[in-house]
Amino acid sequence: MGGDTIFALATARGKAGVAVLRLSGPDAAAMAEALCGPLPPPRRAGLRDLRHDGELIDRPLVLRFEAGASFTGEAVVELHLHGAPVIADRVMDLLEGQGARPAGPGEFTRRAFANGTLDLLEVEGLGDLLDAETEAQRRQAMRLAGGDAETVLSRWKDALTEALAWCEASLEFDDGDIPEDVRPKVREIVDPVLAELAVERRGIGAAERIRDGFTVALIGAPNVGKSTLINKIAGREIALVSPEAGTTRDRLEVPLDLRGLAVRLVDTAGIREADGVERLGIDRALEVATEADLRVYLGPPPPDAPEPRSGDILVAAKADLSTVPDGVSGLTGEGVDRLLDRIAGTLSRRAASSGTFARRRHADLLAAFSEAMASVIAALEADALEIAAEGLWSALHVLDRLLGRTDVEDVLDRLFASFCIGK
């Protein structure tokens, strides 16, 4: 991959102090040199005059990276231009005139993957990092992008490869150095992998919620104050407030950043006996309540509402009209900060159990890995070493799929389509 040279802005378009234009490919250095003259040594910045037909276009800061020592694994040059869009446009026209072409979405990162400077898990982490909006999302994305998942999988691969070697040696060789029964040795090797695997699989749900955001539903009877409360939290009127019961017909959401966690707070229709359009709104409210990660019940749970689950929050509503302690009022703001702290605390405890892996693809492949390892254990217990060896080969293949070394073209197409141009 990467027989041609590509270019793109690595910074956002628009007027700015600096616009970083990145080139990658076999002719990157030669093309930059045709515009800027001799380039600085690799990984050392140098100020250069960028000219065309003797005309001074700009004085950019130039950085050069040799093939094998760059993000993409190819020769890369970065031109740190002044940030007027007209300058970047002129330079890109000149590069295109030399035979370079504009990069597609995620093409720099795809070249990095193809050239082995990033594995698929690191690429996914980079995508999550670019999309991160909260501190928890940033930290989790960095675990993938920084290679934490690859470290875990490499440790598992080393263990399974050693276990496979014991199985194969027992099957192929009659050597006094090999125990007559290698099964205890194989179990000694793979049991720690199984223990780690169980922890990682349990942590995927919380990791997905950190990545995608937690959903918190406000549940209560009509006119209990849900819409007033969500308006107060949002700091603007997003829900119609009326003394007439049943005015909320559809879900209304407020995105929040609570202690670094992405949260969608959802206002739902008041739950009561009703028909017509209001009934449709109530059915949607019940659906949201069932699927939400956390429910906040304002006032006593209505008769038809789902039973509170462990961790759900029950709080007295309209604290401005009552003497109930620790209540909440969307009208005056009383207890709102306290309620948000309770929500954040509950979700933070759940987020603490997150694992290294955070995507549905990871969950599916870890499930397949678990199935392969279960077949290994069953074969060992049945003294069927050949079947155990086949199971270990299958498990190793699943780990390669996680790392993106096999069967990933469809995944790559979807993944890189979501990347910005220039990355």
Range 226-250 average pLDDT: 62
| 117 assigned binding-site residue | no
pLDDT for 289 equals 77
Using CA atoms, how far apart are residues 163 and 186, in angstroms rounded to an integer? 5
| 225 assigned binding-site residue | yes
> Higher pLDDT residue, 338 or 247?
338
Give all domains of the chain, ordered by start, each with its CATH number.
6-117 (3.30.1360.120), 123-209+359-404 (1.20.120.430), 213-352 (3.40.50.300)
| 267 assigned binding-site residue | yes
| 223 assigned binding-site residue | yes
Local confidence band at 269 (pLDDT 50, 70, 90 cut-offs):
low
| 335 assigned binding-site residue | no
pLDDT for 78 equals 97
| 161 assigned binding-site residue | no
| 190 assigned binding-site residue | no
pLDDT in tens, 301-332: 877 777 888 899 998 888 888 777 788 888 88
Cα separation values, 109 from 31, 63, 112, 397, 406, Å: 21, 19, 5, 24, 18
Residue 297 forms beta bridges with which residues?
A: 219, 314
> Higher pLDDT residue, 278 or 209?
209
Q: Using the predicted structure, report yes or no on whether residue 250 has a pLDDT greater than 60.
A: no
Q: Using the predicted structure, report yes or no on whether residue 407 has a pLDDT greater than 50.
A: yes
| 245 assigned binding-site residue | yes
pLDDT for 331 equals 85
Cα separation values, 218 from 271, 315, 409, Å: 11, 11, 42
Q: Is 239 helix (H, G, I), strand (E, B) or coil?
A: coil
Cα separation values, 142 from 261, 280, 374, 395, Å: 15, 42, 31, 26
Highest mean pLDDT among 19-28, 156-165, 178-187, 350-359: 19-28
Local confidence band at 245 (pLDDT 50, 70, 90 cut-offs):
very low
The DSSP code for 420 is: P
Local confidence band at 346 (pLDDT 50, 70, 90 cut-offs):
very high
Range 220-242 average pLDDT: 72
| Pairing assessment for the beta strands 46-47 and 61-65 based on DSSP bridges | antiparallel
Q: Which two tokens stand for residue 286?
A: 């019940």
pLDDT for 272 equals 43
| Pairing assessment for the beta strands 6-9 and 101-102 based on DSSP bridges | parallel
